Structure 1
Amino acid sequence: MGKCLERLYNGIIKENPTFVLILGMCPTLAVTSSLINGAGMGLSTMVVLVLSNCFISLLRNIIPNGVRVPAFIVIVASFVTILQFMLEAYLPSLNAALGIYIPLIVVNCIILGRAESYASKNPVLPSIFDGLGMGLGFTIALSILGGFREIIGAGTILGINIPHWDGIGIFVMAPGAFFVLAALIATQNYIKMKHGQKPKDKICDGNCQGCAMATEHCKEDTKEEA
């Protein structure tokens, strides 16, 4: 169970796909004009991520290595199709707002990346929690981004007007997404640097091959010894 909780923490905080790994930028920048749209996109991606991780982990010893990526895409596409039908039936307004970005979940680098790097190499339960953690991290990030853009750009929150604030229109347009995302990432990095520990100086052990800290003098010595 500890490994499962670690996967949740990893996806939400340590390796958040939006704020840390900077993955899935296409839907992140395109659909986060409001909190509802951001949360809807994040939850849709999370559902597909959890289900695809589960099935890919179940089939990891059956899928031939040479066709693993096409197999992953087929599995992901199947769940995305089911999800789109469900949204069309029960949440047509959200489906219309997200538009083409629902089918594009199939090629979302977060989903294919977790399938390749984790689900195809690990048991089912940790893979499910890995998908859940990454999905929650993505949902939280998109919700925060969409909320800020809606407040600053449209002067509303969840569709409710904010008194005495009409918004700054550029923040609900494409450039505004870059501005808000950059500000959020910069704030996060500032907090990490302020409260985090400074890295300790690396001690040279004499093995300079592949060492980014090796000085030119040290490299010259290594060449002469060779």
Structure 2
Amino acid sequence: MTEEMHFWNPQDQNYVPNYYETDYNQMPTQPGDFQPFTDYSGQIPTIPDVSKFYDPRNVDFEEEPPLLEELEIYPDRILQKMLAVLNPFHSHGLTDDADYLNKDPDLAGPIFFYLILAVCLFLSGNKAHFGYIYGISVLSCLMMYCLLSLMTAQSVFNVTTVASVLGYSLIPIVGLSVFGVFFSLKGLFGAILATLSVMWSSISASRLFVAISGDREQQPLFAYPCALVSAVYVLLVVF
């Protein structure tokens, strides 16, 4: 039994050459001999010029916003709120406007004051510093927010605003902690300073909360929980 061998005929229409039959001597060897790649329309595709989308020479750095604004840190607002806390009996100003306090309740100032308080506690040899300050600040903000929401008919408070007000009202206590780095507060003089700082902080915070709620008759009610929160920080500073 003989096996019939079949070979492809190059003249056959169905013939498909393989790479063994490729004549490499007829392939182009010069760069100009290659045919450029074209798309379906017969046009040679071009690479878009990306320099027109971004050119560092055309960037106007004068129109760029300041770095502090990009970080949402506004020194003028921080200064106004600091002055409002330092002088709780000041005349009517921007800090007595509910829209001003609720629109952009910055947290840069409160975080800065919390850090100063923690550093002062650390320098004075107090065991309670960063972890304690962080935990008390978070718990006090959440509890104060819940309490203020129950005391007002409308939900005019939010967590960010409450945290901002409590942070700025911490300025008298921060001053007490700075004083405690150089002098001992465990005495009659320290007790007087601690009491004054608690009253100062609670009055400032209650006035800001009253400005948001719009009901000035509730200021003593707001001042009481603010005094309790301030007293906790003062105990950390004194002891």
The TM-score range, normalised by the shorter chain, is: 0.3 to 0.5
* TM-score (structure 1 length as normaliser): 0.34
Relative contact order higher in (CA < 8 Å, ≥ 6 apart): 1
* TM-score (structure 2 length as normaliser): 0.33
**Structure having the higher Rg:** 2
Choose between structure 1 and 2: higher helix proportion. 1
